Amino acid sequence: MIAPGFTGGTLDRADALRHDEAGLAALTSDWRSRLLRLDGFDPVLMGDGTLGWTTLADVPEGAELVLLGLDEAGRGHFAAYIPGMRAPPGRSPRLFGLLGQFAPGEAATYAAARSVLDWHSRHQYCANCGTQTALFRAGWGRRCPNCKAEHFPRVDPVVIMIAEHDGRALLGRQPAFPPGRYSALAGFLEPGESIEEAVAREIMEEAGVRVRDVRYIASQPWPFPSSLMVACVGMAENDTITLDTNELEDAIWVSREDVRTVLAGGDGPFLPPPAYAIAFTLLTAWAETE
C-alpha cells in the first residue's frame, strides 16, 4: 500500500523530555536546536520539498516553544506559539498547492506542528473554569492555575469510507469540492461508537445505504485542524441512494476500472482526490483488490 499523506515523520517525539525540565532547558540553550519556519500557519518549503528551519535566535518576543522532537543527531526541533496567532478559516489555494510539494515525511512534521499550534491558539482558557491557562509539557498540554485542570491537544477521529456493491464503489460530492471532484464519504466519529459503527451510521445518514462487514484500510493525520482520518470499506446491502442534500450534492457508483483510470490521470466519470488525502490511498487500495 502507498503511504498515506502526512505520515512517515522522522522526528523522535521524545515524550520523556516533555516531563524533564533540565533536559528541556539544555535543548533550548543548545545552539544546534532548530525552529520550524512558518508563514502564519502555512509551511515554508525549500525547493526540494523539505521544511524550512532556522535557529532559536529567531523565536519572536513573547512566543512559547513546542518541542516537536529530536532528529537522529539528537538536535531539538521546535515550533513557536506566538500569542494571538490564529489560523484563517478555511484553507487557501496557496496552502493546497504546497501540500502537493512536500518531500516524503516532511508533511508529518508539519501536521504535528500545525495541529498543536492551532490548538493553543483556540484553547487559551480553561474549559472547566474559564481561567487563562499556561502551556506545559513542552507545549503538549495546557494547565489551569486556578482549578488545576490539565488539557491536552485534541485529536478528532473522522471516518472516511466507501460503500462497495457489486464491484462498484460509492463516492460523493460536497458542494465545496472543485468541479468534477468526487471522493469517499466522511464524518466525525461520535462518543459511544466504534469505528465500524460510525462508518455504517455516516453512510446511512449521507446516502441512505446500509453497510455491513466494515473493514479498516488505513489512517492518516489531517491537520485542519486536528483530525485523525480512518479509512474503511463497507459492503452495501443494495445500491439505492437516498441523498442527504445538506451534506452531499451528488453521489455515484463507480467501477474499479473507472477508479484505476482516473487515479492514473486518465479521463473518467470523476476527478479523484489529491494524493495527500487518504481518500486517494483508500481508492487506490480498493481499486487494486478484486
Closer residue to a second copy (CB): 6 or 102 = 6
Closer residue to a second copy (CB): 29 or 131 = 131
Closer residue to a second copy (CB): 214 or 262 = 214
Closer residue to a second copy (CB): 117 or 254 = 117
Burial of 41 (0-12, 13-18, 19+ CB in 10 A): buried
Cell of 139: 507545549
Q: What stretches of the chain show up as alpha helix (H) in DSSP?
A: 15-18, 21-28, 93-99, 106-122, 195-207, 256-263, 278-288
Closer residue to a second copy (CB): 183 or 226 = 226
49 Rama class: left (phi>0) / alpha (psi -120 to 50) / beta: left
Least distance in angstroms from the C-beta of 180 to a second copy: 28
Least distance in angstroms from the C-beta of 193 to a second copy: 6
Least distance in angstroms from the C-beta of 11 to a second copy: 10
Closer residue to a second copy (CB): 7 or 28 = 7
Least distance in angstroms from the C-beta of 284 to a second copy: 16
Binding interface with a second copy (CB under 8 A): 4, 6-7, 9, 13, 15-16, 108-109, 111-116, 119, 122-132, 140, 149, 151-157, 188-197, 201, 205, 216, 218-221, 223, 226, 228, 230, 244
230, 195 in Cβ contact below 8 A? yes
Closer residue to a second copy (CB): 33 or 219 = 219
Least distance in angstroms from the C-beta of 280 to a second copy: 15
Other Cβ atoms within 10 Å of 279 Cβ, number: 26
Cell of 26: 539544555
DSSP string, 189-206: --TT--HHHHHHHHHHHH
170, 286 in Cβ contact below 8 A? no
CA 114 to chain centre: 10
The residues with which 94 forms a beta bridge, in sequence order, are none
Least distance in angstroms from the C-beta of 117 to a second copy: 10
Q: How many CA atoms lie within 13 A of 105 on its CB side?
A: 7
φ/ψ of 123, rounded to 5, equals -135, 55
Least distance in angstroms from the C-beta of 16 to a second copy: 8
